[in-house]
Amino acid sequence: MALTAPPPDLPVPSRPLRRWVLGVTGGIAAYKAAELIRLMVKAGLEVQVVMTAAATRFIAPLTFQALSGRPVATDLWEASEGAGMDHIDLVRQADAVLIAPASADFLARIAQGMADDLLTTLVAARSVPLFLAPAMNQAMWQNPANQRNIALLKEDGAYFLGPGEGVQACGEVGLGRFWEPTMILDALAPVLGWENAPDLRGKKVLLTAGPTVEAIDPVRTLTNISSGKMGYALAAAAVACGAEVVLISGPTALPLPEGCRMISVRSANQMRDAVLDEIHDTDLFFAVAAVADYTPANPSGHKIKKTGEALTLKLVPTPDILATVAALPRPPFCVGFAAESQNLEEYAKQKRLAKKIPLIVGNLAQRALGRDDNEIILFDDQGSHPLPPASKSELAHHILKHAFALMRQHTLSS
């Protein structure tokens, strides 16, 4: 997805918003709501799904029931124990309402105050914050009537999450694409109780993510199994906190987090050069990428033919990007990552001291690489700070909060 505006300023709740009504409207993006529910439940949120009749044509309610652990509400007239007041009962029990995806038709109906099915009636009866994650064809998004409805909903206090820009299901390219579920959850982080979000407005955050790929010949490489998920989650968290974010990424299959600028690289040398080009006005630097430790000394310009004999490669060390940045005359606040397979605490502490950085994030590679969740320990001058297992999105916000607090301490003491 291409760059769009960062998430809007969210309400500051007196307590975390933990109980959610998730409304699903009709559209091909409805299938992505299943992943959104999974992530919300995994983050410890209570999710009650309400579907429009059109949404049930794209995905079965049973799918959402299995993921949320709750019966899915679809019918305003369905008999219940609530004296026929499901629209009132559901919003009484909720802290917030999220419509994802929100179709152009649904936006029009709630903008005009219509209440002709369960979900529109629920929105009309709510007294809690309303979040809208639109999904529609790019021409529909730009339609003047649709834009008037959006302006009216914003004026009425609704918060929009997206849309993004990119290739759409119809084959067209433009604004209107549904935000990825991880992006939605990251944007909502300030109201979920994950953290007291640091204010990073006016700060530049530079991150590396993913693997590097070192060429042996034109068709063979040395690389690793890093997915890039932790670095991308940190980039999204920094955007949600108002930072200018630059993400330097090796090859991954992940969508670009909304609101950040990405520089794509392949090799460790390319990543180092990109970092040094961007580092001059950076406030926080997160070296999350799994940079290859070695690269072939003399990569072949042509495919090496198989001969049946053993192949010997001479490998030379790649540049130490984190150590190079930390040794600059005026370095940014540097955060490193240590993925170990054993002796995590010992090796992580050694790495932090060797690179002379204030904070390092340690995890066991076998529990982290390629997965959506992780278990990490933060190491700084005060010792070790283990965090309970959680999604990488949630952990990203904890890491960012800890790093920002340390950065402020270093600034005040220097």
Would you call 104 exposed, middle or buried from its count of C-beta atoms within 10 A (0-12, 13-18, 19+)? Answer: buried
- Please say if 241 is a catalytic residue: no
Q: Provide the angle, in degrees to the nearest 10, between the axes of the packed helices 181-192 and 32-42.
A: 30
Which position has the token pair 């430790």? 293
Q: How far is CA 370 from the centre of its chain?
A: 15
CA pair distance 265, 211, nearest whole angstrom? 10
Question: Of all residues in the chain, what percent are helix, strand and coil, respectively (each to 5)?
Answer: 35, 25, 40
Determine the 3-state secondary structure of 100 from DSSP: strand
CA pair distance 281, 270, nearest whole angstrom? 19
CB within 8 A of 120, min separation 6: which ones? Answer: 106, 109, 110, 114
Which of these is catalytic: 170, 241, 260, 334?
Answer: 170
Q: Which helix (H) or strand (E) holds 209?
A: strand 204-209
Determine the 3-state secondary structure of 71 from DSSP: coil
Instruction: Give me the active site residues, please.
Output: 170
